[in-house]
Amino acid sequence: MKFILDGTKITDKKTLLEELAKVCTFPDYFGHNWDALNDCLGEIALYHPAGSIQIIWDTRGISTHPDSIAIIAMMQIICDRQRINLMRQHEFRTIP
């Protein structure tokens, strides 16, 4: 599953979360905060094997002044979510 973010629409935390919600088709109850992002990414990950989800940031038209704090926070959440999913995959692995 591949999600492509339009860099021209992202300038700060608010627009980053809005673009993620739109592209990833988060549910209406998405709270537009870091905890909600973590929860929604976790829900997506439940239905896809570890490593099968890609979030691509299209930087061809990136804003000239992106909020680097928001970008770093998003990357940390994605990395943490991936680590949790990988641990979960190993945790529930069955051995024949």
pLDDT at residue 92 in the model: 38
* Residue 42: closest CA among 89, 85, 12, 79: 85
How many Å apart are CA 56 and CA 76, to the nearest integer?
15
CATH classification of the domain holding 86:
3.30.370.10
How many Å apart are CA 64 and CA 86, to the nearest integer?
35
Number of domains in the chain: 1
Average pLDDT value over all residues in the chain: 75
Mean pLDDT confidence for 17-40 = 91
Least confident of 29-33, 67-71, 74-78, 82-86: 82-86
56 assigned to some structural domain: yes
| Owning domain of residue 41 | 2-91
Contacts of 89 (CB under 8 A, 6+ apart): 49, 50
79 assigned to some structural domain: yes
96 assigned to some structural domain: no
